[in-house]
Amino acid sequence: MAALLSRYSAPAAATVAPGWTLSRTTPPSRLYGANGLRTGADGRLYVAQVTASQISAVDIETGLVEAISPMGGRIVAPDDIVFDEAGNLYATEITEGRVSMLAPDGSVRVIQGDMPVANPITWHQGRLIAGECRVGARIMELSLDGGAPRIILEGVPMANAFEVGPDGLLYFPVMGTNEIWRVSLDGGAPEVVAGDLGVPDSVKFDSKGRIVSTQVASGQVLRIDPVAGTREVLADLGPGLDNVSFVGDRIFVTSIPGEITEILGGGKTRSVIPRGLQWPLGLAVGADGVLFVADGAFGYSLAPGGALTLAGMIFYPGCPGYLRGAVASAPGEWVVTTGLGAVARYRPGAGESDLIATGYDQLMGVDIASDGAVVFAEYGTGRLLSADGGDVTELAIGLDKPMGVAIGGDGSVYVAETGAGRVVKITGGKAATVVDGLYAPQGLAVRGDRLVVVDAVAKTVSEIDPVAGTSRIIAANLPVGAPVGIAPKFLGPIGDMAGPMIPFADVTVAGDGVLYVSGDAEGSVLALRQTG
């Protein structure tokens, strides 16, 4: 597998057992997603990456990426960022509900806690202003010395990236109403500036005092004159846009899946960092050979010989939520588990989904039995559950962080028990060990009379003989799991949008026997093929 420019630096080259080949089906990602964006005094773009708990600086000419606050550091799930005149960087930590400051000397301190779904942040004439991206959100001026914040506005239906305009008023996108509002920094009643947009999630001002705003659902970058009320489309980049920053008069925007694009004018753009996958998580192959990739807020499809195509996203009609586990169902339909604890039949092409079960704790892998029952792992409680005809029953309890689920041709149910480091077979409500001594088994699939398991800590894919209880490694040093020596921070829920964002390196088997693996360390989908 040839080395490509990637966010992940492998300690050793990947290897495969004799008779196997390894390739990438999608290229690696440069960033772990791209959320908040600000221009530093050095002219680089500083980008917040929620899923990696990382802030990086990007050279706008070369695309070179440098981690400023790296994965495993003290800042967790940064969503938006801003600098003050002294070079201090302030970050909203969306899953932690707080704002922290990273000083130029590398020290970090919490400025404000008790900010559920902390998201937008800006700095204006010595004042730090931050807000929440939730229904009933507050926008507040924060005290830098630990004092109580001052409420500017509350009851906002999901505020996002904002900025103070030339008139001294705070302009902010309101995702829940599909509008842009403004309000005095002293408080008072807000005023609607623009509506009927494409779900705006950022508002910044260019040098001529015009709003530039990204639209997360429509994928448009809009320029709006707040005085004349006119608007124009600067670019249409596809759904998932997140934020804006300027280098002089040059406009740069982020897309949540890890893309940074320069808007050149006249409808032209330049890619600084190409779009990639954030994880990926669950994988499934349909009878037509189409691969479905669950990537949290996004779902993608990959037809044989084709390119990765956006199938659905959390802001699309019919999407059941943050996508994690997946299994093929009917043509064009996938059964998925979501970050908010639901199991659903999802038809992204039609923009439809039907709930099968809901209200569960951190759902992971899923499979479908021959009788149509949907079997899924509840990581949070250690249960294996089966949903059939509206009834949900327990197949097993007391499992140690179950993740991958696979059902054999004979109906046997297998589970990758991540916490216990083993793969088990469930019979009569009991878990019998098939193979143990693993580090962190996650994805699990059936290939003929064998099981295939991804170990995210050992960074291997192994083939298991469930009858003999033996296993052999067929690929090693894979880009799965966290980088060696780094303990990633736990990412809790993002309000009502997603539950805890737990990695899940999955594996699935195509009809021709090809194994597809979630290369979540580098943001790619890998393919393992047997040649002999």
Residue 45 has pLDDT above 70, yes or no: yes
pLDDT at 2 over 70: no
Using the predicted structure, report yes or no on whether residue 109 has a pLDDT greater than 50. yes
Residue written as tokens 């779900």? 199
pLDDT tens-place string over residues 61-73: 999 999 999 999 9
Q: What is the pLDDT of residues 175-210, one digit of tens each?
A: 999 999 999 999 999 999 999 999 999 999 999 999
Sequence spans of domains, the chain: 15-27+277-481+504-530, 37-273
What is the distance between the alpha carbons of residues 4 and 383, in angstroms, rounded to a whole number? 40
Question: How high does pLDDT run on average in the chain?
Answer: 95
- Residue 5 pLDDT more than 90? no
Q: What is the pLDDT of residues 88-97, one digit of tens each?
A: 999 999 999 9
pLDDT score, position 4: 59
* Cα separation, 53 vs 74, whole angstroms: 9
Q: What is the pLDDT of residue 146?
A: 81
> Could you tell me the strand order of the sheet in which 343-347 lies?
323-328, 334-338, 343-347, 352-357
pLDDT at 3: 47
Over 70: is that where the pLDDT of 6 sits?
A: yes
Contact 172, 212 (CB under 8 A): no
Q: What's domain 37-273's architecture? A: 7 Propeller (2.130)
> Rounded mean pLDDT of 352-364?
96
Long-range contact set of residues 221-228: C-beta below 8 Å, sequence gap at least 24? 221/251, 221/253, 221/263, 222/197, 222/198, 224/180, 224/193, 224/194, 226/165, 226/171, 226/182, 226/193, 226/194
Please compute, for residue 246, the number of CA atoms within 13 A of its CA located in the half-sphere on the CB side: 16
Q: Which of 200-204, 315-319, 475-479 has the lowest mean pLDDT?
A: 315-319
The pLDDT assigned to 264 comes to: 96
- The residue-averaged pLDDT of 509-513 equals 94
Mean pLDDT, residues 100-105: 96
Residue 471: both structure tokens together: 């296993």
For residues 90 and 112, the answer to whether their CB atoms sit within 8 Å is no
Asked if 190 and 183 count as a contact pair (C-beta separation under 8 A), the reply is yes
Task: Record the pTM.
Answer: 0.94
Residues 294 and 3: their CA atoms lie apart, in Å, by 24
Q: pLDDT by residue (tens digit) across 278-313?
A: 999 999 999 999 999 999 999 999 998 888 999 999
Residues 266/504, Cβ–Cβ less than 8 Å: no
As given in the structure block, the two tokens for residue 34 are 């791209």
Assess whether pLDDT exceeds 80 at residue 262: yes
Q: Cα angle vertex 492, ends 479, 9, to 5°?
A: 20
CATH of the domain spanning 15-27+277-481+504-530: 2.120.10.30
In 274-382, beta strands by DSSP E: 283-285, 291-295, 298-302, 309-313, 323-328, 334-338, 343-347, 352-357, 363-368, 374-378
Residue 213 C-alpha from the chain's centroid: 22
Spatial separation of the C-alpha atoms in residues 418 and 503, rounded to whole Å: 12
